[in-house]
């Protein structure tokens, strides 16, 4: 089972100055930066997934989250995905490079933003090893398996569009003998309808299926989907889980013969999770989670700046407490400050993040206590000292400090590494 990471242009300045919080002088975005697979050996994933909608603006889709400039798109197609992503050479020769249409970008529209002809051409030009047929997301998954006769017309339309696109897509691939492996996108409103879709795709000629619509589903629902799918298709037919948001539970799905899955969850948790920002392998197997130590930039953090503008905070006092928090945490790492001193300094600064929200005293104390419990565990255990990954060895305590993109993304890279090793260990136990 291969773990793929979805490209979101996540790269960092390898020479970033953490003490002064600035990029290296003359740094050029992308050209001087490094992806996770460049900074870490082994690479923290088995392949990359790239969404067409992240590169090319979809016609008529105002909310399309295009991450690439026009020049970057042109270079991506001219040079090929491997060269652009610096994911080529002997080291990554056998790694998957998978393309999909990025259906989330046009989920609110009646029809997919990209036609099969466009998608096939895009996959071919970029040099992907695998490409998913253009689908139309169905978010509803009714475990009672209602028949099509009671389903809304719009849902049935999305179901048929996905199948029609898959058939046309496969015809185009086979006609032109494109070098990438076609993957049929599975959508449906229930486990049974998704299984029926998978069976139809298999009959078309697909030998690799990409299961969509899983993002909002709970673990039990995903189990039901996969049970029905596997009972409907041949054991040798490969399965990919698109946007598998339940990455923490991957060990529960080993019996379904999953060939690959993609997830951004380990990196996203570094940024957005309230208490599980830093991954660490458990001695007995599995993953432990720690809260990052939040020391935001006093004159850049939105909440703090808002408090300054309202006259709630003195900017000089904020900057002073910020410096003390950073210095004390670094001293803790060096063994010259106690855990109690570090915790006090961090919480003394952290309180301002909450005071800016104009909380009543009772709520303020409750929130501060919750944060203190999380941070005290991180400070006590110092998990970054127990990790030998390339990120933690190089930047040390900076990886656990929640502050600026260069730190947070590095912590995300670390999480990808820990998660990738977790997947590999889980698979080895199965054997």
> d(Cα 384, Cα 394) in Å, to the nearest integer?
11
CA-nearest of 47, 61, 58 to 7 is 47
> d(Cα 192, Cα 205) in Å, to the nearest integer?
20
Instruction: Give CA separation, 291 vs 176, 271, 272, 274, 393, in Å.
Output: 51, 11, 11, 7, 19
Instruction: Give CA separation, 306 vs 189, 316, 431, in Å.
Output: 45, 15, 55
List 13, 135, 262, 390, catalytic entry: 262
> d(Cα 70, Cα 66) in Å, to the nearest integer?
10
> Are the beta carbons of 191 and 143 closer than 8 angstroms?
yes
CA 155 to chain centre: 27
CA-nearest of 128, 83, 82, 80 to 101 is 128
CA-nearest of 108, 197, 128 to 156 is 197
Cα torsion 417, 419, 422, 423 to 10°: value is -110
| Whether residue 262 lies in the annotated active site | yes
| Whether residue 333 lies in the annotated active site | no
> d(Cα 282, Cα 122) in Å, to the nearest integer?
42
* Sign for the pseudo-dihedral over CA of 155, 221, 277, 343: positive
> d(Cα 396, Cα 401) in Å, to the nearest integer?
10
Q: What is the DSSP string of 136-197?
A: -------TT---GGGS-HHHHHHHHHHHHHHHHHHHHHHHHT-SSEEEEEE--SSHHHHHHH
Instruction: Give CA separation, 34 vs 84, 85, 289, 391, 412, in Å.
Output: 12, 10, 26, 12, 14
CA-nearest of 138, 34, 131, 123 to 87 is 34
Token representation of residue 280: 């660490």
> Are the beta carbons of 56 and 122 closer than 8 angstroms?
yes
List 13, 100, 135, 390, catalytic entry: 100
CB atoms within 10 A of CB 151: 17
Annotated active-site positions, please? 100, 262
């Amino acid at each position: 089972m291969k773990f793929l990471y979805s490209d979101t242009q996540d790269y960092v300045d390898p020479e970033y100055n953490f003490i002064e919080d600035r990029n290296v002088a003359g740094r050029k975005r992308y050209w001087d930066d490094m992806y996770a697979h460049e900074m870490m050996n082994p690479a923290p994933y088995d392949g990359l997934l790239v969404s067409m909608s992240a590169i090319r603006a979809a016609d008529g889709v105002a909310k399309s989250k295009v991450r690439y400039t026009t020049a970057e798109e042109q270079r991506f197609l001219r040079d090929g995905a491997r060269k652009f992503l610096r994911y080529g050479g002997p080291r990554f020769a056998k790694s998957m490079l998978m393309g999909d249409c990025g259906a989330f970008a046009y989920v609110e529209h009646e029809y997919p933003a990209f036609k099969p002809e466009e998608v096939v051409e895009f996959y071919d030009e970029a040099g992907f090893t695998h490409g998913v047929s253009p689908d139309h997301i169905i978010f509803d998954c009714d475990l009672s398996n209602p028949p099509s006769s009671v389903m809304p017309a719009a849902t049935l339309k999305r179901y048929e569009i996905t199948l029609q696109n898959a058939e046309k897509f496969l015809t185009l691939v086979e006609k032109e003998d494109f070098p990438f492996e076609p993957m049929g996108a599975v959508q449906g409103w229930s486990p049974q309808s998704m299984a029926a879709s998978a069976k139809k795709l298999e009959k078309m000629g697909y030998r690799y299926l990409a299961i969509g619509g899983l993002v909002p589903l709970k673990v039990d629902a995903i189990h039901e989907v996969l049970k029905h799918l596997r009972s409907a298709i041949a054991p040798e037919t490969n399965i990919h889980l698109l946007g598998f948001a339940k990455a923490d539970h991957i060990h529960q799905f080993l019996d379904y013969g999953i060939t690959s899955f993609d997830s951004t969850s380990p990196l996203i948790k570094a940024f957005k999770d309230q208490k599980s920002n830093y991954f660490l392998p458990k001695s007995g197997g599995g993953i432990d989670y720690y809260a990052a130590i939040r020391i935001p930039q006093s004159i850049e953090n939105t909440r703090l700046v808002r408090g300054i503008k309202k006259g709630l905070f003195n900017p000089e006092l904020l900057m002073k407490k910020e410096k003390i928090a950073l210095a004390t945490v670094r001293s803790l790492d060096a063994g010259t400050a106690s855990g109690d001193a570090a915790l006090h300094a961090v919480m003394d600064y952290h309180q301002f993040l909450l005071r800016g929200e104009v909380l009543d005293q009772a709520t303020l104390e409750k929130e501060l206590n919750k944060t203190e419990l999380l941070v005290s565990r991180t400070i006590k255990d110092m998990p970054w000292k127990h990790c030998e990954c390339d990120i933690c060895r190089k930047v040390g305590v900076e990886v656990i400090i929640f502050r600026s993109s260069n730190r947070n993304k590095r912590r995300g890279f670390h999480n990808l590494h820990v998660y990738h090793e977790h997947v590999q260990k889980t698979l080895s136990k199965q054997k």
